[in-house]
Structure 1
């Protein structure tokens, strides 16, 4: 009876996306039907209602993040927010300098934006990464060698879940007058964010990572930084000409409601998820020949990235039909190549044998124990078939 109330398949892939919280869905349904007005329509009550909702959401989210409401720009997702930050900012200031700093373990939306800028004549300087996924600060003289205009980095890595020392990096950027962009897609809901304490210039946050609707994100642009952008989209001039396009009222409301829920349950939710993850890790470590990728101390509670020796990661995923898992970033899951993140970790020996386990709001203890039972059996079965191991 212990496993009687398990819902299949069990979802342990919350870093790729999170389900829309039913409490959020309930709030936004009317705005798909009879409160459907266009934010930019100023001639009737439908437009006025939409405008008031959007601006109230902007103000309330800014209160949660401890910033000014005029510092928030709506975008369609973290990919667009990152592109606007990196390409829009760099192209505007290209006559000042063409040197940008990042790291090689970044999300594809950052790395491919940087690859585009290389074609435009920019030079990308990558900070060194230690074996645990954290930045090696021994080579910081790199800041002195070139006239850098931008540092772009993720607060939390999307594959191995480690978080960087962005407090130190932000202070360093202020000393050398370098603009700093932070992708907080994987950090929101897992790490407490206060933009007044962390002096950042640009921040990207996505709704669907915090149990909100897909298709909406925000880009925070610090007003005191007095920075400008070359727009990537041209149209009606919405969002102060930074991001043209019809403003999606229903999605923005869902984004706000997900923040509102988070504010109430942030501490207890993270405590619960940390306990589930620790139980999972302790039990899983009873299996031989496992390797944890990334630092365990400087890591968000939702993430585990584990390599299973003598097993292909894809084979293990296929063998556990009732559990939704991934080998890495969902944005790169259709590309048959090894993880660029794990390749950058010098001590990651079993790159193609790695599985990313990410836990979330709706996971239960029964999910953990059932998953452990199924995984243990599948690992034993696959290793028995392996030509490199005799059991």
Structure 2
């Protein structure tokens, strides 16, 4: 099996699974319970919070546990909007956000908020001049995806943070679901107020995530019914998943430091192989991209058909974000980049991990080339 869909989800580390099982068996009590077993679970929760805070270089009081990226984005975007709407109802985001953020802004528009969607160039990058021009006295939030989940484009988060330092009343949210463990993001240095992370993108388990909320930032809670997570997210915490997530974060950050050159070499091999293939157009830009995502289009070949043919040969890729992959049609992200309907409708995404080898990449490229040639023969006959 050659698994190349790591942006959709990653295979959990064995250490993560072992941790989850151990905590589930021995520390299953509700961390809010007053008895000693509840206290043991609460202590583990506290230790995990401190560990994650240390890894992210933030305070433990700034770490809020969620069920993942979608919930984190919803809490951050809607929570800021509803909490601070008396000061202003203008929000700024980009036209290439993940669906969980993009649709949150569409929902807020129906609630009377005004949203500016910043356009992108052919590489998927926003213009800092456009951002500055969009800021108004009533602007309360700027929300930007760090690494695009379809193309791998990295937005200029540091520069955006510098611009927003001149506007201290505007909150800055970053969706770092695809970037964590692949592209560094210094939360404090870059002026970020809120940041979303998901465990299952870093070899943790589905159903766990982190929302960084800078001390002093107030949010309107989307959930009521308990005082968990500093009253920002009611609901019994998934202690086993959270402790496992802390371990996954530590391991992925260690790999990021130790295996950067390896993953770049694998990506280069894929890009070189794709460039040599007839009728293949690469959509991922050359510069300012993450090391693990490659997006390309194959002229005249439906991506769903190609994915199924690769599947039969134990090579697993995707069309776009897993949240949108079953919708069919053209990629909203590629259309916003101005790549046209044909390329946007025939896009394939390869997303690798630190475990992906050069041998796997070479084998996957050979299979891909064979399948494309087979489709071309059928089309010509």
Q: Given the two structures, how large is their TM-score scaled by the length of structure 1?
A: 0.93
**Contact 2:275–2:282 under 8 Å retained in 1:** no
Distance in structure 2 (CA, Å) of the matches to 1:106 and 1:335 = 17
1:233 to 203, 215, 223: 223
Q: Deviations over 1:4-27 (max 9, x none)?
A: xxxx2x210000000110121122
Are 2:248 and 1:258 aligned?
yes
Q: Deviations over 1:57-94 (max 9, x none)?
A: 11111111111110011111111111010011101111
Q: Does the residue aligned with 2:144 lie in a helix, a strand or coil? A: strand
Counterpart residue number, 1:5: none
Counterpart residue number, 2:122: 131
Counterpart residue number, 2:206: 214
Distance in structure 1 (CA, Å) of the matches to 2:192 and 2:367 = 44
Counterpart residue number, 2:33: 41
**Contact 1:134–1:295 under 8 Å retained in 2:** no
Distance in structure 1 (CA, Å) of the matches to 2:61 and 2:274 = 47
Counterpart residue number, 2:286: 296
How far did 1:294 drift? 3.2
Q: Does the residue aligned with 2:140 lie in a helix, a strand or coil? A: strand
Are 2:154 and 1:167 aligned?
no
Q: Does the residue aligned with 1:227 lie in a helix, a strand or coil? A: coil
- 1:95-244 correspondence runs (5 A): 95-145=86-136, 147-177=138-168, 178-223=170-215, 226-244=216-234
Counterpart residue number, 2:65: 74
Distance in structure 1 (CA, Å) of the matches to 2:132 and 2:244 = 44
Q: Deviations over 1:101-136 (max 9, x none)?
A: 011111000011111101110011011200110112
Aligned residues: 377
- 1:325-336 correspondence runs (5 A): 325-336=317-328
**Contact 2:274–2:282 under 8 Å retained in 1:** no
Distance in structure 2 (CA, Å) of the matches to 1:302 and 1:328 = 14
How far did 1:145 drift? 4.4
Is 277-286 or 112-121 further displaced after alignment?
A: 277-286
Q: Does the residue aligned with 2:44 lie in a helix, a strand or coil? A: helix
How far did 1:228 drift? 1.4
How far did 1:295 drift? 1.8
Q: Does the residue aligned with 2:348 lie in a helix, a strand or coil? A: strand
Counterpart residue number, 2:349: 356
Q: Deviations over 1:121-171 (max 9, x none)?
A: 001101120011011234244234452110111100000001111011111
Q: Given the two structures, how large is their TM-score scaled by the length of structure 2?
A: 0.95
Counterpart residue number, 1:87: 78
Counterpart residue number, 2:358: 365
Alpha carbons of structure 1 residues 91 and 270: separation in structure 2 relative to 1, 3 Å? same
TM superposition outliers: structure 1 runs of 4+ over 6 Å: none
When the two chains are superposed, the root-mean-square deviation of aligned CA atoms in Å is: 1.5
Distance in structure 1 (CA, Å) of the matches to 2:223 and 2:233 = 6
Distance in structure 1 (CA, Å) of the matches to 2:173 and 2:189 = 15
Counterpart residue number, 1:28: 20
Counterpart residue number, 1:249: 239
Q: Does the residue aligned with 1:377 lie in a helix, a strand or coil? A: helix
**Contact 1:277–1:301 under 8 Å retained in 2:** yes
Q: Does the residue aligned with 1:334 lie in a helix, a strand or coil? A: helix
**Contact 1:231–1:241 under 8 Å retained in 2:** yes
Is 369-378 or 357-366 further displaced after alignment?
A: 357-366
Distance in structure 1 (CA, Å) of the matches to 2:19 and 2:230 = 28
Distance in structure 1 (CA, Å) of the matches to 2:305 and 2:231 = 48
Counterpart residue number, 1:276: 266
Structure 2 residues not aligned, in runs of 5+: none
